[in-house]
Amino acid sequence: MQSGITASQELVSEFNRLLGSDEHFGLLVTIANEQLQPRALLTPSSRGASFSSNVSSLLTPHVKPNEALYVILRRYSDVPALVAVTYVPDTAPVRQKMLFAATRLTLVRELGSEHFRETIFSTTATELSPAGFEKHDAHIALDAPLTEEERSLGEVKRAEQEAGAGTSARKIHLSSHMAMPISEDALAELKELGSGGGSGLVILVGFDHGPTAWMDTLADDSLLPRKLIPTPKS
């Protein structure tokens, strides 16, 4: 949704002042007369003040619970150094909320998106407090994208796990209490299955009514007996 609102010359001038000197901490912007207008240029009394201190002393007094506002802050020491915050509280007038939400991308585009490292949309005053920015930073750190090296390592590990799963599914676990004697042919069949030589065979062991036991191997694709191996009954 496009609002048709553009940046005023006064806003462009104040924004250039913000860009031109790091003595300025931020710039507050509002919408008036169908234009983006500057509201206040935030300049700390001391350049050595921390970001949190500047937020508390310069920004907090301007954040109202029922009034939308655009906030441009110098957040980083290297370029792009700015962050653009769209503050639209739930208790603001409906038309104001819609207008500010619809114009937030216009603000960044009109002033030059290359100057902004990130854009933030907030609905509560606490999100614009020092603790709110710290919480935002923690959330961004958790969602930080993986580097190319990290992605490559992840793909290698997944490939190794998939390769291991292909053979582990064929393992046969025989009870240590099983005392039935097994013939050489039967052992060969088990070794073939365990090494992946078989085609997913099912091994059935049983006893006839006679003096011998039998081991039948079934192919999983046909479910038909492949080989009958007599073994001496213990």
Residue 146: what pLDDT?
56
CATH number at residue 17: 3.40.20.10
Mean pLDDT on 100-109: 95
Residue 202: what pLDDT?
47
DSSP string computed for the chain: -----EE-HHHHHHHHHHHH-TT--EEEEEEETTEEEEEEEE--S-TT--HHHHIIIIIGGG--TT--EEEEEE--SSSS-EEEEEE--TTS-HHHHHHHHHHHHHHHHHH-GGGEEEEEEE-SGGGGSHHHHHHHHHHHHHTPPPPHHHHHHHHHHHHHHHHHHHHHTT-----TT------HHHHHHHHHHHTT-SSS-EEEEEE-SSSEEEEEEE-TTT--EEEEEEEE--
Domain boundary pick from 85, 118, 141: 141
Residues 84, 14 share a domain? yes
Encode pLDDT of 145-197 as tens digits.
656 566 656 666 666 666 665 544 444 444 444 455 556 666 666 666 666 55
Residue 223 placed within a domain: yes
Residues 114, 39 share a domain? yes
**pLDDT above 90 coverage of the chain, percent:** 53
**pLDDT above 70 coverage of the chain, percent:** 59
Residue 16 placed within a domain: yes
Residues 11, 99 share a domain? yes
Q: Which domain holds residue 189?
A: 173-232
Count of domains observed in the chain:
2
Residue 54 placed within a domain: yes
